[in-house]
Structure 1
Amino acid sequence: MSTAFDDLLAANEDYVREFRLAGLAPIAARGLAVVTCMDSRIEPLDMLGLKPGDAKILRNAGARVTDDTLRTLVLAVYLLGVDRVMVLPHTKCRMASVSSDNEVHEIIAEEYGVDTRSLEFHTNNDQVGALRHDLERIRHHPLLPADLPVIGAVYDVDTGRISLVEE
């Protein structure tokens, strides 16, 4: 029986033959958590000189620090060896190209007939302002260590360069 996932299942068979990550510890070997976007142009390990097991990678639309991201960071800090956090949105992000969640709801309703108003997308066309806000959410979260190093940068999808965002 053929499915829409046959290509992926076949690729996994190839992956299994070359698999070399057995026994890798579940902690972040380099103590890093990276919050970044789900955009497929982003390769967090490669762009930061990391390898599997070095970092915890948290991905969502827009690289936003949501309540779920904070929950995951708390677990990563206390149970998975994370002792520093980088928040890394990117240029040309669809979530930063709209003015509000309402605009996204309207686009989806008009183009697909789906009412998404029950969801919060955390859009913000002031990407640097949103990044600074998200950094503060981490720095002031009562369950995260007050001295947890947190940094923000923007990844350029056209050059591969990350640029730090000054506080």
Structure 2
Amino acid sequence: MKIATRATLTALLCAAALPAGAMTLSSTDIHEGQLMDKSFSFNGFGCKGENRSPQLSWRDLPAGTQSLAVTAYDPDAPTGSGWWHWLVVNLPASQSALASNASGSLKQGLELGTDFGSQGYGGPCPPAGHGMHRYQFTVWALPQALDVKADTPPAMVGYMLNAMALGKATLTATFVTPKE
């Protein structure tokens, strides 16, 4: 009988952690664990970016997916509850990407209000000197469209997404606002 090595067991466990056909999220604009370009930063609150939403692509949706949502969330915001930077809901399951700088010109789906108090993408803008923040871009596979309005609070949308998701994929990029 052959005994598996530690390396073989580790490889098997890692392969099992990501099921075949698991949802994936990628981008030509931002990359896992990497700093985001200033062009994606918010223009306001002391930040001087272009507020461009990044390009996002996804694939391998789970069976039963009828609707998609895309969110951007900063768990490091000094609020006690994070910061919602972008919420797009009710995209058709047939859609597989959002173009760079798509916010504000979506032909399908609904952009909801963010924690900035406005609809659409609100880019990174951590407080000056606060250090690096993570920005979690997530695509959510849902069994149906969400019954929400443009002014539904972001925390409520987050609750609904987590309660209903058939699957999700996240890409986490980072951003630092320089000390002034």
- The normalised TM-score by structure 2 is 0.23
Bigger strand fraction: 2
Normalised to the residue count of structure 1, the TM-score between the two structures is 0.24
Which has the higher relative contact order, 1 or 2, with Cα contacts under 8 A spaced 6 or more apart?
A: 2
